[in-house]
Amino acid sequence: MTLLTCAVCGTTLDSDADEQSAMLALAWVASHERGRDLRFCPQCARDNLRAIEAKLDTDYFSNH
């Protein structure tokens, strides 16, 4: 099984459980931060998308 765990709210999803779970897993967002592989559920991804993008921008500007 492939268990996804939301880095924000801690909800879990087994994407291999059944077809519906596999579909739901597609809406999850993956983010790589400081070598860690983070996952965000659709709800938290929407809430945090701006923060995630802001962090990417910060990294971009600090590297140039």
Q: Which amino acid is at 59?
A: D
Judged by CB under 5 A, which stretch of 9-17, 26-34, 54-62 contacts Zn ion?
Answer: 9-17
Which residues have a Cβ under 8 Å from the Cβ of 8 and sit 6 or more positions away? 40, 41, 44, 47, 48
The binder of Zn ion chosen from 3, 9, 23, 54 (CB under 5 A):
9
Judged by CB under 5 A, which stretch of 21-29, 38-46, 47-55, 56-64 contacts Zn ion?
Answer: 38-46
25 near Zn ion (CB under 5 A): no
Residues making contact with Zn ion (CB under 5 A): 6, 8-9, 41, 44
